[in-house]
Structure 1
């Protein structure tokens, strides 16, 4: 007898508890709404994950030991390279052939004893073997063997099929670090310059070097500035341009400088430095002071001095830096110099924030700005240079845990990162000169400033790394400032954009990309030097040069290589060219200087103020 199954009544479905679903016409639903492509299980991270993450961070305080690079990042890069190399016979054969050719060259060098006949030339920036003593045997053989090995590893870590570019760069960078560690120039016995100095001084250079090493270790452990930096103090021999603090809030002090000319341009200048640095890089000793240079050119100059944040400031974000920083400063300048538009100048991260603010001002059709100048400031982070070695999802999570525990990114973490990027100069050459040759290079105002670091708030740095570096949200028009979408095409004022040829923090080709994101008039300048020396570039100090080309609406946009080929170099400092550009975008110098401060902005303290002295 057949059994007829009973038809079950379908259980009632629970009512949705989330926001009401918006009906879509057939074919109009976005693919991301699919459970397979989107998030069909609520918001991520979940509430329970957030609770467990808080517990994890509380327990992490019990073992505060940290590594500068996330172990997962390092292992993933090595594994990616090693596995793809193991699965590519063609690359293995190429490296085998290249090793045989290198071995033949090494044999010829050893058998003839004449390294110069088959010389491997170091890279142009490598000065370790520049002394003529390195061209005499036996140290010439050591140098050549090392350079041959370096060349082989350079080829071995590049061009392996299947390896991601990020991992390729990481493996190549790691190989370079290990090779630099074992370079013969680091050895007392292998370095002919050190041997000669040791014999001439009877080993006194090594005794001095040992004392310098101990002194450096003690200063690092106690978080003290390097030897000689104590000779440069803000308000004593740097940051001494006369002025007054006219505004102080939780995040900034705004300094207004006293005029030195009987008449000034109507348009004031606001300098917005990055908060990863003290502002006085723009007001070093008088001969290197950009502030003094501008005041003497007849401008009313203001500068933001950022607070050095502590753990209590952990929740300050980029919106706060805009509100309490750039916007508050512009509002104060408008009160002190009413009716005038401001020449706004941003340096590094300060320039990135200024570009956001300028786009917001343009979107809202405000008339606050006369022009915008950016010094070594990125707005497109798709190719940020070697700093990207330390920025990926794994490294972000690793750093996020560290910052969450402290509330800030410590200045020593930033210093160590930048030193690794230029380890050959800032680590190994420094140790050779100081610890082996027993020489202390004289401290300069720029070097002392560079050692006077700051911290970064947890929330701000987290937003900066996630939204700007990893998501590149600003260039994609996907960033919001104060809840307002930011599109750099909304910038309506002429721009002067400066980049430096040797900048390893904001590579010039990356800085150049603003011309594809903004269609206002732009003047692009490429100067000699690096991230700091390229900016602190006063007229007549040292031989220097720059390239300058203007772009106007309707002209074809050149790519970086075309721009470089078509823009001739000019001898001298770009400071004068920039001042001339400011003059052309300003009214004649006929106005009497404004008073210091305003009715609601009374002078609070003489420059350089108090925030710059925080450690």
Structure 2
């Protein structure tokens, strides 16, 4: 050990050259199998690669940034000088360090950046130099985009996003020879990690039928209905769009108003019913709510023409009819999560136009009704990209679930893509079993008509907030929605940013309780009180600027769930005898979580 401390480079020398050579041969053999699995469905015409179209879009966008800098020779020289100045500072500090002089690094990664946690990124001069060279270059590239003038906001947003994706991809932490931890592991194991990594790559390509489906968790450790989605209940109705689940009561008395939950169809509903300890559905049942949940179908060609209106009529409006038959109660409280919340808002505006008052209160979890500041997902939405997407969806009648999953993962690519590439394929390790990531990988398809309407009317044209959206022959006006609303945003949300949710609060015509939770789009919602994690903020009316609202708000420790429950009871706390699924001669079709949610892509 003393010898290793004197000569730290010894840990980067092969221990057993013969074993290393054998493992290298096995790695190359597995790499050949991976290539064969990748090529086979493409040779058969089962997969049509669309990467060229996407790459063309990236090049076109970044070319517009380049045009700004090269159009003025002086500006181009200044940009180059700035980069070379950073390199010179790094070179000088490295020379000083070689001569034993103390010196500060030219640049440091952000404190939350996990990629450079290994001590050798700082202690080993070679790896420290590579790290700083990368950080200087990537920061320079980001600055070039930020400072480019004359670009429209959408083009600049796309350029910023693409540069970030490229920078994340080429990080030295992602490559064997430039990552000290990977290099040490390879030397210590004589390359066994690379053999296992290539085996994982082959398995993941086979799972994705020729496309790479990166494992984020160990799927063998989870089974829906066994250790996930286990809250007792029954499926009491179904159609081509959804199943309706009624959960069994756990209290003698329940609130008179049933609770309808409208989850997103971009993901599956059991995010609200993971393990019993994390289940919002179970917790709501235990508080005395009669809970009904819409479980959306995982669509195929048969649902190609199912539109937003179909999801409203056959989803929410039909479920309200089912609830009335199952409980003899017409008035309900409703919850909508993410795009399920957007559909709920659309439905509320439609019901207001029709004079339908069955929904007496609405709660939105991380829901946007105004898409002006809709975050990085707007990068994927413009006329050119939507037309390309519609062309692809027309082939089968739906958008493949992997495409949507990839888009969401790219929003946090260091955490959700590259960390698993390194762990699975270079370290050769199995991913840690994590229920949330199992759910995240359980992707769903998007019906072509529904998805096209959503992208065009929400992300592209923002018609709902402008009062120009039409559904079922009605022009929708959110100001006509006067019921009480509980609007939950999460502070670190990258899908429905808190500013976007805050602005949307001002579109409704009734009282809105805006609540800001700690953490992000999922963890900020799935935050049971028993965990006592994070915090939430409450304040006055959601008016003016979000920053001003936050300054005047009150912080509360722990989960917002009890606050929501108290808000719901303040509207109507009348109780009745608990209702069991199957009452009033309602036919029970199967046990929860039902069969629709079991359908995998």
Note whether the superposition's TM-score is higher than 0.5: yes
CA contact (8 A) 1:245 1:256 kept: yes
Q: How does 1:559-578 map to 2 (within 5 A)?
A: 559-578=545-564
Q: 1:447 maps to which residue?
A: 437
Residues 1:295 and 1:166: Cα distance change in structure 2 (over 3 Å)? same
Report the 3-state secondary structure (helix = DSSP H, G, I; strand = E; otherwise coil) of the residue aligned with 2:340: helix
TM-score, normalization by structure 2 = 0.86
Q: 1:457 maps to which residue?
A: 447
- Unaligned 5+ residue runs, structure 2? 1-44
Residues 1:596 and 1:213: Cα distance change in structure 2 (over 3 Å)? same
Residues 1:521 and 1:311: Cα distance change in structure 2 (over 3 Å)? same
Residues 237-289 of structure 1, C-alpha deviation per residue, up to 9 Å, x if partnerless?
Answer: 11111111111112111111110011111111100001111111111111111
Q: Partners of 2:430 and 2:181 in 1: how far apart?
A: 16
Q: Partners of 1:410 and 1:75 in 2: how far apart?
A: 25
Report the 3-state secondary structure (helix = DSSP H, G, I; strand = E; otherwise coil) of the residue aligned with 1:546: strand
Q: 1:98 maps to which residue?
A: 82
Q: Does residue 73 of the first structure (1) align with residue 63 of the second (2)? A: no
Q: 1:368 maps to which residue?
A: 358
Residues 1:72 and 1:504: Cα distance change in structure 2 (over 3 Å)? same
Residues 1:63 and 1:257: Cα distance change in structure 2 (over 3 Å)? closer
Report the 3-state secondary structure (helix = DSSP H, G, I; strand = E; otherwise coil) of the residue aligned with 1:244: strand
CA contact (8 A) 1:360 1:490 kept: no
Pairwise CA RMSD: 2.3
Report the 3-state secondary structure (helix = DSSP H, G, I; strand = E; otherwise coil) of the residue aligned with 2:488: strand
Q: 2:484 aligns with which of 487, 490, 494?
A: 494
Report the 3-state secondary structure (helix = DSSP H, G, I; strand = E; otherwise coil) of the residue aligned with 1:373: strand
Q: Partners of 1:542 and 1:68 in 2: how far apart?
A: 48
Q: 1:266 aligns with which of 256, 262, 275?
A: 256
Q: How does 1:155-304 map to 2 (within 5 A)?
A: 155-221=143-209, 226=215, 228-304=218-294
Q: CA deviation at 1:399?
A: 0.6
Q: Partners of 2:554 and 2:196 in 1: how far apart?
A: 47
Q: CA deviation at 1:410?
A: 0.4
Report the 3-state secondary structure (helix = DSSP H, G, I; strand = E; otherwise coil) of the residue aligned with 2:369: coil
Q: 2:376 maps to which residue?
A: 386
Q: 1:16 maps to which residue?
A: none
Residues 83-135 of structure 1, C-alpha deviation per residue, up to 9 Å, x if partnerless?
Answer: 22222456435423422431332122221127961341223542211233211
Q: 1:473 maps to which residue?
A: 463
Q: Does residue 504 of the first structure (1) align with residue 489 of the second (2)? A: no
Report the 3-state secondary structure (helix = DSSP H, G, I; strand = E; otherwise coil) of the residue aligned with 1:108: helix
Report the 3-state secondary structure (helix = DSSP H, G, I; strand = E; otherwise coil) of the residue aligned with 2:566: helix
CA contact (8 A) 2:338 2:496 kept: yes
Q: Does residue 422 of the first structure (1) align with residue 412 of the second (2)? A: yes
Q: CA deviation at 1:441?
A: 2.9
Q: Partners of 2:121 and 2:453 in 1: how far apart?
A: 49
Residues 1:504 and 1:228: Cα distance change in structure 2 (over 3 Å)? same
Residues 1:521 and 1:160: Cα distance change in structure 2 (over 3 Å)? same
Q: CA deviation at 1:569?
A: 3.1
CA contact (8 A) 2:540 2:553 kept: no
Q: Does residue 135 of the first structure (1) align with residue 110 of the second (2)? A: no
Aligned length: 550
Q: Partners of 2:208 and 2:283 in 1: how far apart?
A: 35
Q: 1:108 aligns with which of 81, 92, 105?
A: 92
CA contact (8 A) 1:73 1:394 kept: no
Q: 1:528 maps to which residue?
A: 518
Q: CA deviation at 1:496?
A: 1.0
Q: Partners of 1:513 and 1:68 in 2: how far apart?
A: 37
CA contact (8 A) 1:348 1:376 kept: yes
Q: 2:568 aligns with which of 565, 582, 603?
A: 582
CA contact (8 A) 2:218 2:430 kept: no
Residues 512-554 of structure 1, C-alpha deviation per residue, up to 9 Å, x if partnerless?
Answer: 2112211311111222222222221112336312222242xxx
Q: CA deviation at 1:310?
A: 0.7
CA contact (8 A) 1:277 1:453 kept: yes
Q: 2:587 maps to which residue?
A: 602
Residues 1:541 and 1:557: Cα distance change in structure 2 (over 3 Å)? same
Residues 1:402 and 1:522: Cα distance change in structure 2 (over 3 Å)? same
Instruction: Select between 98-107 and 601-610 the one with higher mean Cα deviation.
Output: 98-107
Q: 1:516 aligns with which of 500, 503, 506?
A: 506
TM-score, normalization by structure 1 = 0.85
Report the 3-state secondary structure (helix = DSSP H, G, I; strand = E; otherwise coil) of the residue aligned with 2:333: strand
Residues 1:560 and 1:110: Cα distance change in structure 2 (over 3 Å)? same
Instruction: Select between 530-539 and 197-206 the one with higher mean Cα deviation.
Output: 197-206
Report the 3-state secondary structure (helix = DSSP H, G, I; strand = E; otherwise coil) of the residue aligned with 1:513: helix
Residues 1:423 and 1:239: Cα distance change in structure 2 (over 3 Å)? same
Q: Partners of 1:69 and 1:327 in 2: how far apart?
A: 40
Q: Does residue 122 of the first structure (1) align with residue 106 of the second (2)? A: no
Q: Partners of 2:54 and 2:109 in 1: how far apart?
A: 32
